[in-house]
Amino acid sequence: MHIKKYLERNFRIKVVPTYRCNISCSYCYTQNFQKDFKDMSWETFEKVVAQLIREKGVGMQIMGGEPTVWPHIDDAIMLLKEKSLISHLLTNGIRTSSVPPTEVHLNIEHFFEGKHTAKILKTLEDYRAMHALIRFRYNLQPSDSQEKMYSIISLAKDFGIPTIHVGLAWPHPHSREFGTRAHQLCKHIRDAGIQCAMADPLPLCLFGKEELDYLLDNTNLIGICHCGVVPLINPDGCTIFPCQAVPIPRPMVEPGSFRNVAKLFEEELERIRNDMPAKCRNCRDFLETNCQNGCLGNRFSLEGPGEGSS
């Protein structure tokens, strides 16, 4: 309840101005949407901002695809600044916006791919020169080495990055062993004097009791998502997803429809909950809505349970 009240007071939205991207990640869900949506027009973006102001929102996450390939990205950040709205830019770091947003959330995992290293390093240097606040996003994969994890922490210290936001790339093993790796990574980050956050939702059963207690105390892990509380606006500006991974577009037809949109998806979300594996449906954390067994959209398709649901 505390989290929900905080979000209501600090209401912001997610906006996808384009589903196009300048790289291709194997686990990325947005590739499926590129053929369905053209880029957001500038006029549409202005309307979205105007409605956000009417609903007394404080800002938006600009995501994708890759938002820096959208031709209006600099004008968009500038407009948000002029309206005293927060702007969070979620980027892969291959390109740099000319105007610094309030925060840059940079997915750092591609830094260690030789063909992208120089470009991402330049992006880091450019944003540092603009005095932008940069945070790292890192999606842990089963094949990642300890050396890569330590290198990311070292890079964060070199650039004064205050926070590393850790997610678990899908698909991943639903195992205590993988949970222990995630816990160890978060502990290494904290021991280096860097704040650590964890993506939600995550299956709480990946972790032992001591590991879970540590993550709850040190990484803001809560195990559930905010579906319907933090809506995602598609590039057409008139349809919404309940989250960035469940492709069930619904029209925004009423004033104030940015807020409390979960009711638009009640039937689909109930079906997804019913498709959870038996071990979840009999779990106290799931029954008490403390855990959602990881991202609903990535784990399940609209046709029924997906890989990893048994």
Residue-level pLDDT at 298: 45
124 is a domain residue: yes
Q: At what angle do helices 176-191 and 209-218 cross, to 10 degrees?
A: 40
Q: Tell me what pLDDT residue 196 has.
A: 96
Tell me, what CATH number does 100's domain have?
3.20.20.70
pLDDT of residue 211: 97
pLDDT value of position 302 = 36
- pLDDT tens column, 136-162: 999 998 889 999 999 999 999 999 999
In a domain, 147, yes or no: yes
Residue at 284 is within a domain: no
CB 37 within 8 A of CB 17: no
CA distances from 265 to 54, 92, 104, 138 (A): 24, 30, 30, 30
Evaluate the CA torsion angle 278, 273, 244, 53 in order and state its sign.
negative
Q: Is the pTM of this model over 0.85?
A: yes
Tell me how far apart the alpha carbons of residues 136 and 185 are, in angstroms, rounded to a whole number.
Answer: 14
Does 50 fall in a domain?
yes
Q: Is residue 281 part of a domain?
A: no
- Residue 74 within a domain: yes
* Domain count along the chain: 1
Please tell me the predicted confidence (pLDDT) of residue 299.
56
pLDDT number for residue 297 = 56
Which domain does 197 fall in, by range?
2-261
Closest Cα partner for 61 from 75, 50, 71, 76?
A: 76
β-strand pairing of 195-198 with 163-168: parallel
Residue 299 lies in a domain: no
- Cis peptide preceding 201, ω within 30 of 0: yes
| Predicted local confidence at residue 305, as pLDDT | 37
Residue 254 lies in a domain: yes
* Low-confidence residues in the chain, pLDDT < 70: 1-8, 27, 227-228, 243-247, 255, 260, 295-310
Per-residue model confidence (pLDDT) at position 245: 64
